[in-house]
Amino acid sequence: MGFIAGAAGQPAQAPDGLTGLGIKAVFSADADTTFLSTMTDVQIANLTTARIYTLPSTDPSTGATVKAGRELIFKNRGSFNLSFNSSAGTAMTVANVATGSVGDPTIRNGYVRLRALQDAPTTPAHWLVEEVSDEYSAVATFTHPEFSPTSQVVVTRQNKVASIRIQDFTTAGSIVTGGSVLVATGFLPLRFRPAVPFFVGAISKSIGAAVAGAFAISTSGSLTVYQNYSGSGFSSGGTAGFGQTSNTQFFSYPLA
């Protein structure tokens, strides 16, 4: 089916239920769902809690089966995990999906593209994760009293690479001097953990100092952020610069 032409000066419109590429898409239920082989290949979800989708293999009512090479795309617009089981009920993880997959298919605020590797797939190894994009914003929140407002560490991943974003915020009030202050801790889900321990020793410039903090993630998922207050530029009542306004910090690292 082709596009429906728009009025002069307006973009052409796709028929109801189709994306701009002419690919049919539907909104999937905000519920644990078992799909049949006759499902629509592009599913869009807006989850209000964590859900599990079970991938298709057959449709008993018609006898139709998923064929090798079929592509399924799932988009999760919610901030809760959407995870997947194979049709046999086995949870799909980075450890048991097909060799060559680019990561764990679990997603929140992201999408995943899956490819069937054989007819009537039943196990996680029968599915290839071809592409995955995912965001996890509930990692750690800065709660040290010197920080107002608080700010979160946000982790995103695109296939085999993750990026950390420390959002903008300022510090004010009575700034202590000397030593390093622990300002955030967290724990990353398996799909966001680095292949090797990741450490950054200088995460922001501060007023009068070259180093304002340290950031580390272990392969077990432990995350810590420190601010170093030893710089001479910190003073009572001033605004200091660990992630100061217009200075959001970004770091990338390879995933396991």
On whether residue 37 sits in a domain, the answer given is yes
Residue by residue, DSSP assigns 48-76 as: SS-EEEEPP-EETTTTEEPPTT-EEEEEE
Q: Is 161 left (phi over 0), alpha (psi -120 to 50) or beta?
A: beta
| Structural domain that includes position 63 | 25-132
Same domain as 112, residue 175? no
Given 77, 111, 132, the domain boundary residue is: 132
On whether residue 9 sits in a domain, the answer given is no
Given 132, 154, 187, the domain boundary residue is: 132
Same domain as 168, residue 113? no
On whether residue 3 sits in a domain, the answer given is no
Tokens 């990026």 identify what position?
163
What is the Cα–Cα distance from 255 to 84, expressed in whole angstroms? 20
What is the Cα–Cα distance from 149 to 152, expressed in whole angstroms? 10
For 197-232, how does the pLDDT look when each residue is reduced to its tens digit (9 = 90+)?
A: 887 765 544 444 444 556 778 898 887 766 554 433
Q: What is the CATH number of the domain that holds 246?
A: 2.60.40
Element (H, E) at 252: strand 249-254
Same domain as 214, residue 179? yes
Same domain as 127, residue 107? yes
What confidence score (pLDDT) does residue 81 get? 95
Given 132, 167, 200, the domain boundary residue is: 132
On whether residue 18 sits in a domain, the answer given is no
Tokens coding 210: 């070259």
Same domain as 159, residue 118? no
Looking at residue 148, the DSSP 8-state letter turns out to be S
Same domain as 151, residue 110? no
Number of structural domains the chain divides into: 2
On whether residue 55 sits in a domain, the answer given is yes
Same domain as 206, residue 171? yes
What confidence score (pLDDT) does residue 29 get? 86
What confidence score (pLDDT) does residue 89 get? 96
On whether residue 15 sits in a domain, the answer given is no
On whether residue 7 sits in a domain, the answer given is no
Pairing of strands 25-27, 42-45: parallel
Question: pLDDT tens string for the chain (256 positions)?
Answer: 333 333 344 444 334 444 444 467 888 889 999 999 999 999 999 999 999 999 999 999 999 999 999 999 999 999 899 999 999 999 999 999 999 999 999 999 999 999 999 999 999 999 999 999 999 886 655 544 444 445 567 889 999 999 887 654 444 333 333 445 555 667 888 899 999 988 776 554 444 444 455 677 889 888 776 655 443 333 333 334 343 434 456 788 899 8
Tell me if residue 125 falls in helix, strand or coil. Answer: helix
Same domain as 101, residue 121? yes
What confidence score (pLDDT) does residue 74 get? 97
Same domain as 201, residue 158? yes
On whether residue 1 sits in a domain, the answer given is no
Same domain as 106, residue 69? yes
Same domain as 114, residue 160? no
What confidence score (pLDDT) does residue 168 get? 46
What confidence score (pLDDT) does residue 221 get? 85
Tokens 């799932």 identify what position?
74
Same domain as 99, residue 182? no
Closest C-alpha to 150, from 140, 162, 137, 160: 140
